[in-house]
Amino acid sequence: MTLAGHSYSVRAVSLAVGGRRALSGSGKTLKLWDLETGTVLMTLAGHTNSVNAVALAADGHRAISGSGDNTLKLWDIESGAELMTLAGHTRTVFAVALTADGRRAVSASWDRTLKVWDVDAGESVAVFFGEGGIGSVQLAADRKTVVAGDASGAVHFLRLENAD
Render each residue's pLDDT in the chain as its tens digit; 164 residues: 888 888 888 899 999 877 889 999 999 999 999 999 999 999 999 999 999 999 998 888 899 999 999 999 999 999 999 999 999 999 999 999 998 788 899 999 999 999 999 999 999 999 999 999 999 999 998 878 999 999 999 999 999 876 54
Dihedral in degrees, nearest 10, Cα atoms 151, 103, 144, 86? 10
127 to each of 86, 106, 110, how far by Cα in Å? 14, 9, 13
The model carries a pTM of 0.91
Which residues, including other chains, have CB under 8 Å from residue 163's CB and lie 6 or more apart?
Answer: 99, 100, 101, 104, 143, 144
In order of their start, the domains of the chain are 10-159 (2.130.10.10)
